[in-house]
A = this chain, B = another copy of it.
Amino acid sequence: MILRPATRAELPAVLALLADEERVVDPASIVVTESYERAFTAIEGDPRNEILVLVDEDQVVGCLQATYIPGLGKGGAERALIEAVRIRADRRGGGLGRELMARAVERARERGCALVQLTSDKRRTEAHRFYASLGFARSHDGFKLAL
């Protein structure tokens, strides 16, 4: 099992994870549109953004996006924002989510981040217990405005 930045060849597998709500989506069924290509290129070319994939026996079984944010607080240290956390439907319940998050947190620590932050939909109470069990404090409310 390894956590590393996604390659371009893994983009369909990542998009399949993002599309997957309840069951496994076949990466071969994913149409990689030009806007996905552009977004992936933007992320890959940005030293403060990465799509990380959890790979087990050459299979992408989980992913997340990490954004490292420079700021004036915390002695100038970066903070890591984690979004789009996914584990493939047929691999849930076996501790892979914990593996994915623990490794991403460790990666942020090694980079020198002072903090890891994320938001989770208020309805996802199971996810909240999961993040609390990893040591995260549910200290904030998350607000969104669609443009």
A10 to chain B, nearest CB (A): 12
A73 CA to B109 CA, complexed, in Å: 26
Nearest Cβ on chain B to A50's Cβ, whole angstroms? 11
Q: Would you call the interface of chain A mostly helix, strand, loop, or mixed?
A: mixed
Number of this chain's copies in the assembly equals 2
Contact B147 A143 (CB under 8 A): no
Q: Interface extent on A, as a size class?
A: 35 or more
The B-contacting residues of A in range 99-147, CB under 8 angstroms, are: 105, 108-109, 113-122, 128, 131-132, 134-147
**Interfacial residues, chain A to chain B (CB-CB below 8 A):** 14-15, 18, 35-36, 38-40, 42-43, 46, 48-49, 51, 65, 67, 69-73, 75-76, 81, 83-84, 105, 108-109, 113-122, 128, 131-132, 134-147
